[in-house]
Chain A
Amino acid sequence: MTPPSPVDEQVVDPHVSPSSRERSRFPRGLHSVVARLRLGMNRRSSLVVPPLALLSALIVGAVIVMLAGVGLGETLSAYRAMLDGSVGSVRAISETLTAATPLILAGLSVALAFRAGLFNIGGEGQMLIGGMFGVLIGFSLTGLPIFIHLPLAILAGCIGGALWGLIPGLLKARTGAHEVIVTIMLNFIALRLVDYGLKTSLFQREGRSDPISKNIEATAELPQLLGWLDSSLRVHLGLVVGLVAAGLIHWLLFRSTMGFEFRAVGANSTAARYAGMSISRAYILVMMLSGALAGLAGTGQVLGVLDRASPGFSAGIGFDGIAVALLGKSNPWGVVAAALLFGGLRAGGQEMQVSTGVGIDLIAVIQALIIIFVAAPAVIRALYRLKTTAEATRISRGWNS
């Protein structure tokens, strides 16, 4: 793991010019002392805030549960069940990793767009379209060996997601249409398209009247990682795909020219334009890549967990990706850590609902609270009387940007 660079921990701040950001990343001479001091402080604050945010969110969540008429003892046992369900056993850990896999990819998708100053709320739609592409290749090709069929299906998923991400990218670059509105609308359109597609003879399983797709071939399935231990452990190769993607995105953002351009456009698009970078090209490329990552998340779900597509199979993971990216401060490895946490919450939430009857929707509440506390570190600072210099997260500049 590469150590996270100092200022990059903050989500791009439009007020910091790219040059000063770069300078503090590569300290020289006297400047380095100052930079190192800032590094220490920034690192401490960015490391302290997320755990405190989690703690605060859990406390507020418990209050909500008790307000809904559940006693203190039961609430504590619900949280106990959540802990057991997330890390309490090999099966629980496998469930956590399974839930974390799509969250890593969806989180990377949002994080990459954040870095270029774009807010991709379209993860849901891109997951759905990508997953449909993946499932189509997964069941329609037969007789191929796994090392050809599986990569083909994954690639198809990437392409589907990239196409769905291309639309807001193109519209943003060409007409200035705000990507937030366009991606929200595309989510709804994708949802209806899937509903419709699953009822056509192309996708619908033979002899079924409800919208459900054919099962994918065994050669398109993402193999289980711990299948040799127990065949019911669901964690699959998608996890490795997610980790590799995190490494690639980290390289792209911080070690490549293209990534530098993306970040420059995100930090200050006017300055980037005067430096000769093409803003439109960056927008289009970023949205395509971001869509491809989300498409990969959807494909991972259909090829690794579900084996088929059903209406709304993205199950809100695309939205959770926003939370993951914010919590991970748009840093690829931070995203992985955040995805593991949210995966744990999801897996634990299942266990909590089954064994104590406290509804799994509580997880969404806790996640929303975590984002509030992470996005507004000043709240955490005020609550816990910390003396750190955490800045509020800012990624967009309204409709005018």
Chain B
Amino acid sequence: MSEESASIRKKRPANRERHSPVMKKSQIRQARISGSIIFGLMAVTLLFFIPAVADTGKATFRLSTPDDRVQLDPLRIPVTGSLWLLAAVLAFLGSLQLFRKSQSRRTVILGLSFSIFVLVIMLWATADREFSLVSMLDATVTNTTPIALGALSGILCERAGIVNIGIEGMLLSSAFSGVVLGSLYGGWIGLLGAVATGGLVALLLAVLAVHFHVDQIIIGVVINILALGLTSFLTAQVLVQRPQLNDAPIFRSQKIPLLGDIPILGPMFFDQTVIVYGTFVLVAVVTFFLFRTRWGLRTRAVGENPAVADTLGVSVVKVRYLAVLYGGMVGGFGGAWFTIGTVGRFDEGMTGGRGFIGLAAMIFGAWNPVGAFLAALVFGFFDSLRQKFGLLDTPIPTEFLAMAPYLVTIIVVAGLIGRVRPPAADGQPYQKEQ
């Protein structure tokens, strides 16, 4: 079973080609739609971006910061020429879809086209200016962290068949307890407290979902409302009067010797905080446990078909409780990022929807930890793009850049259904037959 889900995804396109030499009408329509989208992107490039950069020279992308050991020369790219080139690539990819109606790699081609379009926007925004690519990539990994941890939290719960849309609430409440405990007893205790708080919130989800059979989406919504209300109430009631409780030490970046000196990749992956390193480790650990251990097999069995798992002697209740508890603790670890991982203070509603983006990353990544992490990287990239573009002061309103991750999520969710499959018993309470 371990490779099953992975192999299904890999084989599927090949299967489809082999079994259906004649394309179905719906496939032709899908190919047409994606082809038109790609040509639309090309048209925008030709009609808007290329005229806009008419008199500009080169865009400069800095590849290292002044205090890096290995200094790379900044990339200087002629803007107009590159845009023409990229537009031509878009036209090629679009016609691949429209005329060959190639089915096998539709998602890849669409993804590639969107990436090219992002590149077009970046070139246009940086024309005649300097842009620190390395610091944006660094910020991308930082911004990915809470999203990836939220997604991991969701995966752990949902692989056992418990829908968790209360990730946002878990992040928020543990961000709060992290800062309070961190201010009182230091960062490590704060981190521990945040993890415990996440587990506590998860316990509420587990009790209501497993024991009382309450609709899991309702519990998730309630957890979000409760966490926002409670943390805002306590902030106004307690933290405002006692600001010393809202002033925690933060974890600093710790450079890993040698690896941290690799240009570009070093600052991205090997010069980060404990929480970011922890995320890398957790992605690996969760993958290993879900797909390589007995515990993981049981968890996935319970998520797919609790009745059968029960017949085979697996305790559905115990497995679900544990999975949700672990999920909550991972979420709590992610919550710590917001306060003791970055700014050291709590503000009302500071998670700003990161938990929901994590949920989207989970779906995007097909309920697989590595996939979810890669999806979270995409969202993290958009997040940092918005932050850095704010500095470049481009004519694109930041509101639209802020919308991008949400739009991408909708497109992904609408386009991926049928391709990714959630655990079969996701969201269904299990009641043992008497």
Residues of A within 8 A of B238 (CB): 68-69
A184 to B217, CA, bound (A): 13
Residues of B within 8 A of A375 (CB): 208, 214-215, 218-219, 222
Establish whether residues A192 and B237, one from each chain, have CB atoms under 8 Å apart when the complex forms. Answer: no
Establish whether residues B208 and A376, one from each chain, have CB atoms under 8 Å apart when the complex forms. Answer: yes
> B180-216: which residues lie under 8 A (CB-CB) from chain A?
208, 212-216
Establish whether residues A182 and B410, one from each chain, have CB atoms under 8 Å apart when the complex forms. Answer: yes
**In the complex, what residue of chain B is closest to A381 when comparing beta carbons?**
B212
Interface readout for A169-186 with B: 1 if CB under 8 Å, 0 if not? Answer: 001001111101110111
The reply to whether the CB of A254 lies closer than 8 angstroms to some CB of chain B is no
The reply to whether the CB of B283 lies closer than 8 angstroms to some CB of chain A is no
The reply to whether the CB of A359 lies closer than 8 angstroms to some CB of chain B is yes
**In the complex, what residue of chain A is closest to B407 when comparing beta carbons?**
A189
Chain A binding surface, main DSSP class: helix
Establish whether residues A181 and B360, one from each chain, have CB atoms under 8 Å apart when the complex forms. Answer: yes
Residues of B within 8 A of A193 (CB): 399, 403
> A387-401: which residues lie under 8 A (CB-CB) from chain B?
392-401
Contact partner of A119 (CB less than 8 A), chosen from B217, B228, B422, is B217
The reply to whether the CB of A112 lies closer than 8 angstroms to some CB of chain B is no
Given A182-B413, A185-B406, A392-B215: A368 and B222 interface contact (C-beta under 8 Å): yes
Size class of B's contact patch? 35 or more
The reply to whether the CB of A371 lies closer than 8 angstroms to some CB of chain B is yes
Of the stretches A36-44, A97-105, A153-161, A318-326, the one at the interface is: A318-326
CB of B298 to closest CB in A, whole Å: 20
Interface readout for B390-434 with A: 1 if CB under 8 Å, 0 if not? Answer: 000000010110110011011001110110001011111100000
The reply to whether the CB of B233 lies closer than 8 angstroms to some CB of chain A is yes
A180 to B418, CA, bound (A): 17
CB of A397 to closest CB in B, whole Å: 6
CB of A200 to closest CB in B, whole Å: 9
Establish whether residues A379 and B212, one from each chain, have CB atoms under 8 Å apart when the complex forms. Answer: yes
Interface readout for A326-366 with B: 1 if CB under 8 Å, 0 if not? Answer: 10000000000000000000000000000000110111110
Given A188-B353, A359-B232, A364-B228: A177 and B417 interface contact (C-beta under 8 Å): yes
Given A192-B402, A365-B226, A400-B426: A378 and B363 interface contact (C-beta under 8 Å): no
A358 to B232, CA, bound (A): 12
Contact partner of B237 (CB less than 8 A), chosen from A184, A358, A392, is A358
CB of B174 to closest CB in A, whole Å: 17
A185 to B358, CA, bound (A): 12
Residues of A within 8 A of B356 (CB): 184-185, 188
The reply to whether the CB of B350 lies closer than 8 angstroms to some CB of chain A is no
Residues of A within 8 A of B163 (CB): 398-399
Interface readout for B11-40 with A: 1 if CB under 8 Å, 0 if not? Answer: 000000000000000000000000000000
CB of B149 to closest CB in A, whole Å: 19
CB of A314 to closest CB in B, whole Å: 14
The reply to whether the CB of B229 lies closer than 8 angstroms to some CB of chain A is yes
CB of A352 to closest CB in B, whole Å: 12
Contact partner of A181 (CB less than 8 A), chosen from B221, B353, B402, B413, is B413
Establish whether residues B225 and A368, one from each chain, have CB atoms under 8 Å apart when the complex forms. Answer: yes
Establish whether residues A196 and B225, one from each chain, have CB atoms under 8 Å apart when the complex forms. Answer: no
The reply to whether the CB of A64 lies closer than 8 angstroms to some CB of chain B is yes
A255 to B71, CA, bound (A): 75
A68 to B429, CA, bound (A): 35
> A11-65: which residues lie under 8 A (CB-CB) from chain B?
64-65
The reply to whether the CB of B63 lies closer than 8 angstroms to some CB of chain A is no
Contact partner of B212 (CB less than 8 A), chosen from A181, A322, A323, A392, is A392
Establish whether residues B208 and A185, one from each chain, have CB atoms under 8 Å apart when the complex forms. Answer: no
Establish whether residues A180 and B229, one from each chain, have CB atoms under 8 Å apart when the complex forms. Answer: no
Given A185-B406, A189-B406: A396 and B232 interface contact (C-beta under 8 Å): no
The reply to whether the CB of A204 lies closer than 8 angstroms to some CB of chain B is no
The reply to whether the CB of A84 lies closer than 8 angstroms to some CB of chain B is no
A64 to B218, CA, bound (A): 22
Residues of A within 8 A of B221 (CB): 121, 319, 322, 371
A180 to B409, CA, bound (A): 12
A119 to B216, CA, bound (A): 12
Counting chain B CB atoms within 10 Å of each CB, which of A65, A70, A361 scores highest?
A: A361
Establish whether residues A367 and B225, one from each chain, have CB atoms under 8 Å apart when the complex forms. Answer: yes
Residues of B within 8 A of A182 (CB): 410, 413-414
A396 to B427, CA, bound (A): 8
A182 to B218, CA, bound (A): 16
Establish whether residues B410 and A192, one from each chain, have CB atoms under 8 Å apart when the complex forms. Answer: no
Contact partner of A192 (CB less than 8 A), chosen from B217, B400, B426, is B400
The reply to whether the CB of B359 lies closer than 8 angstroms to some CB of chain A is yes
Residues of B within 8 A of A252 (CB): none
CB of A225 to closest CB in B, whole Å: 30
The reply to whether the CB of A372 lies closer than 8 angstroms to some CB of chain B is yes
Establish whether residues B400 and A176, one from each chain, have CB atoms under 8 Å apart when the complex forms. Answer: no
Establish whether residues A171 and B414, one from each chain, have CB atoms under 8 Å apart when the complex forms. Answer: yes
Establish whether residues A372 and B426, one from each chain, have CB atoms under 8 Å apart when the complex forms. Answer: no
Residues of A within 8 A of B406 (CB): 185-186, 188-189
A361 to B417, CA, bound (A): 38
Establish whether residues B215 and A393, one from each chain, have CB atoms under 8 Å apart when the complex forms. Answer: yes
Establish whether residues A365 and B230, one from each chain, have CB atoms under 8 Å apart when the complex forms. Answer: yes
A389 to B392, CA, bound (A): 62
CB of A156 to closest CB in B, whole Å: 23
**In the complex, what residue of chain B is closest to A359 when comparing beta carbons?**
B236
**In the complex, what residue of chain B is closest to A379 when comparing beta carbons?**
B212
**In the complex, what residue of chain B is closest to A11 when comparing beta carbons?**
B215
The reply to whether the CB of A195 lies closer than 8 angstroms to some CB of chain B is yes
The reply to whether the CB of A369 lies closer than 8 angstroms to some CB of chain B is yes
A5 to B377, CA, bound (A): 51
Establish whether residues B222 and A185, one from each chain, have CB atoms under 8 Å apart when the complex forms. Answer: no
**In the complex, what residue of chain A is closest to B223 when comparing beta carbons?**
A368
Residues of A within 8 A of B228 (CB): 364
CB of B108 to closest CB in A, whole Å: 19
The reply to whether the CB of B234 lies closer than 8 angstroms to some CB of chain A is yes
Establish whether residues A189 and B230, one from each chain, have CB atoms under 8 Å apart when the complex forms. Answer: no
Residues of B within 8 A of A371 (CB): 218, 221-222, 225
Residues of A within 8 A of B50 (CB): none
**In the complex, what residue of chain A is closest to B367 when comparing beta carbons?**
A399
Residues of A within 8 A of B214 (CB): 372, 375-376, 392-393
Contact partner of B229 (CB less than 8 A), chosen from A177, A368, A397, is A368
Contact partner of A178 (CB less than 8 A), chosen from B208, B399, B413, B428, is B413
Interface readout for B158-189 with A: 1 if CB under 8 Å, 0 if not? Answer: 00000101000000000000000000000000
> B121-165: which residues lie under 8 A (CB-CB) from chain A?
163, 165
A-B contact pairs, 20 of them (CB 8 A): A68-B233, A171-B413, A176-B417, A182-B413, A199-B397, A319-B225, A322-B221, A359-B236, A364-B228, A365-B233, A368-B229, A371-B225, A372-B219, A372-B226, A379-B208, A392-B215, A393-B214, A398-B428, A399-B422, A399-B426
Question: B residues bordering A, Cβ < 8 Å?
Answer: 163, 165, 208, 212-219, 221-222, 225-226, 228-230, 232-234, 236-238, 353, 356, 359-360, 363, 397, 399-400, 402-403, 406-407, 409-410, 413-415, 417-418, 422, 424-429
Question: A residues bordering B, Cβ < 8 Å?
Answer: 64-65, 68-70, 119, 121, 171, 174-178, 180-182, 184-186, 188-189, 192-193, 195-196, 199, 319, 322-323, 326, 358-359, 361-365, 367-369, 371-372, 375-376, 378-379, 392-401
- The 8 closest A-B CB pairs, nearest first, are A398-B427, A364-B229, A361-B233, A368-B226, A361-B232, A196-B399, A398-B426, A177-B414
